Amino acid sequence: MMHQAIIHSPLLLDKKNDSTIIIILTRSNSTTVTSSDPLQKLNHKNWLAPNEVLKIFKTLRDPDSVINVLERVSQRKDYKPNETLYTLVIQKLCQSKKFYAIPEILKRIKTEKKYHCKLSDEFFYFVIKIYGNVAGYIDEAIKTLFSMPDYNCWPSIKTFNYVLNMLIAAKQYEIVHEVYLGAPKLGLVIDTCSLNILIKGLCENDKLNEAFELLNEYPKQGCMPNAKTYSTLMHCLCSNGRVDEAFQLLDRMEMEGCDPDTITFNVLISGLGKQGRVDEGIELLDRMKIKGCYPNSGSYQAVLYGILDSKKFVDAKCFMDRMILEGGFPSFLSYKLVIDGLCKENRLEDLDLVLDQMVHRGFVPKMGMWKKIVQSVLGGGKN
């Protein structure tokens, strides 16, 4: 007796009466084809471990379906949400730009108290960062910060300061003060970083007098100003042409036992350069080393831009040699400005040296630069 079977190929051929009969034999016990789609697991009653659920969300081809998949998962008896799952869901919502759905996820977490899902400060920091940096939902970020205690989670000062900084970046200066005053409600003690952010906001809002008043409040808050505090104030002073006052603040800084860092000196050097006080900038560059604060490329670059602003292109070329010798790296813009200046002054020998140095540093002159160089060479030949 012949057993039935599935035969995909070859086909059995039987010729009768000059006609071809194709016989496809079938097997009664056909095999089951399993789908490679992870979503198919949700249709089975087999117990799904938490890592298997996470894998389903990680492999979702369509981020837009994340809410529907979450609904399906939540209907299962083995549903046990955790922070990792919620983080992954919010990531998927972010990918599909469905930021409006994030508050619903947070609301869902609050109503799912029976699962005893504990959320950490890192989770809320992540959500706030999405609201602030990606979605631009500043109000939701603030709301999330102050709702953290409702989830039995208290924010860290890092998360609080992140919101302050976010508001400064968005130029929402008035709201910054309101959030700052809400720190005690969140059980937070203000630190130096918090006050530095407020100083930054006041300086950016051209309220320098108020910024100095706040500087005097640091000890009352149990904080000490640091190099960043003073550098922010100095930058504001220099931007308003008050460079000498910035140096007075440097003296106060050192008298109060706070050592200036490289950024502090870079701010002052840049301020001197904008006033054409290049020689003082070079002296300050040397003074840094005496103070045990080694200059970086930004320090040299600040001096170099000051020399270039003074139209002293040969001096700039010489300073670039020193800069490289001491480990600095001139910018492409520096080379462009020096070459433009040397071309105008027809300093062909210096021009050749700067061009060779530029190429050696890995920069490629653009067509406009080559055009000026050729014009300078041809003009020099005529003279």
DSSP assignments along 189-214, one per residue: ---HHHHHHHHHHHHHTT-HHHHHHH
- DSSP class of residue 3 equals P
Note whether residue 199 is domain-resident.
Answer: no
Is residue 345 domain-shared with residue 371, that is, in the same domain? Answer: yes
pLDDT score at 368 = 83
pLDDT score at 236 = 97
Mind listing the pLDDT tens digit for each residue in 21-56?
333 334 434 334 344 566 666 666 667 787 888 888
Asked if residue 12 has pLDDT above 50, the reply is: no
Is residue 270 domain-shared with residue 328, that is, in the same domain? Answer: no
Note whether residue 273 is domain-resident.
Answer: yes
Q: Name the one residue in this structure whose structure tokens are 């062909």.
A: 348
Is residue 271 domain-shared with residue 234, that is, in the same domain? Answer: yes
Local structure of 36: helix, strand or coil: coil
Is residue 336 domain-shared with residue 375, that is, in the same domain? Answer: yes
Is residue 237 domain-shared with residue 298, that is, in the same domain? Answer: yes
- DSSP class of residue 76 equals S
Is residue 302 domain-shared with residue 342, that is, in the same domain? Answer: no
Q: What is the count of structural domains for the chain?
A: 2
The share of the chain scoring above pLDDT 70, in percent, equals 87
Domain end marker among 278, 310, 342: 310
Q: Domain containing 251: what range?
A: 226-310
Q: Which residue has the higher pLDDT, 53 or 316?
A: 316
Domain end marker among 283, 310, 337: 310
Note whether residue 267 is domain-resident.
Answer: yes
Q: Which DSSP helix (H) or strand (E) runs through 69?
A: helix 66-74
Q: What single letter denotes the amino acid at residue 185?
A: K
Asked if residue 350 has pLDDT above 70, the reply is: yes
Q: Which DSSP helix (H) or strand (E) runs through 54?
A: helix 50-58
pLDDT score at 65 = 85
Note whether residue 133 is domain-resident.
Answer: no
Arithmetic mean of pLDDT, 101-116: 87
Is the N-terminal amide bond of 10 cis, ω within 30° of 0? yes
- Exposed e or buried b for every residue in 233-261, given b needs 16+ CB within 10 A? bbbbbbbeebbeebbebbeebeeeebebb
Note whether residue 292 is domain-resident.
Answer: yes
Rounded CA-CA distance 155/146 in Å is 9
Is residue 265 domain-shared with residue 332, that is, in the same domain? Answer: no
Residues 6 or more apart whose Cβ sits within 8 Å of residue 369: 336, 339, 340
Rounded CA-CA distance 248/234 in Å is 10
Phi, psi of 105 (to 5 degrees): -65, -45
Is residue 298 domain-shared with residue 332, that is, in the same domain? Answer: no
CA distances from 122 to 6, 127, 160 (A): 57, 9, 12
Note whether residue 266 is domain-resident.
Answer: yes
Note whether residue 274 is domain-resident.
Answer: yes
Q: Which residue has the higher pLDDT, 363 or 115?
A: 363
Note whether residue 332 is domain-resident.
Answer: yes
Rounded CA-CA distance 270/278 in Å is 9
- How many DSSP H helices and E strands does the chain contain? 19, 2
Asked if residue 282 has pLDDT above 70, the reply is: yes
CA distances from 322 to 145, 245, 277, 298, 339 (A): 50, 30, 19, 14, 17
Asked if residue 312 has pLDDT above 50, the reply is: yes
The share of the chain scoring above pLDDT 90, in percent, equals 60
Is residue 240 domain-shared with residue 303, that is, in the same domain? Answer: yes
Arithmetic mean of pLDDT, 86-93: 92
Mind listing the pLDDT tens digit for each residue in 250-264?
999 999 999 999 999
DSSP string, 257-281: T----HHHHHHHHHHHHHTT-HHHH
Domain end marker among 254, 286, 310: 310
pLDDT score at 40 = 66
pLDDT score at 85 = 92
Arithmetic mean of pLDDT, 352-368: 88
